[in-house]
Amino acid sequence: MALDSPLPTVPVPLLPQETDGQLDLQLALQSVYDLYHYEADIDYTLPPPLPLPNGQAEWSDKLLRESGVR
C-alpha cells in the first residue's frame, strides 16, 4: 500500500443472515495512534528504519516538514 493513500474500508463478515459490517481501517489506525499518543514515541526527525520505495521517502519528508515535526 502506498503511504500517500488512505487505508481502505473493508467488509467484516457477520452471521450468514446479516449484511457484512464495514471497518474503516484508516479511521481505526488514526484512532489508535491518537489514543495511545504514538507521536510521542516516534522520532520523526530520523529516517524510517526501512527505506521507503518509489518517491514515498520524498512524500513522507515533505509531509513531516509541513506538519512541523521535521
**6-56 pLDDT, tens digit each:** 999 999 999 999 999 999 999 999 999 999 999 899 999 998 999 998 789
Residue-wise pLDDT tens digits, 23-37: 999 999 999 999 999
Q: How confident is the model at residue 55, as a pLDDT?
A: 87
Residue 1 above 80 pLDDT? no
| Distance between CA atoms of residues 57 and 42, nearest Å | 16
Q: What is the DSSP letter of 68?
A: T
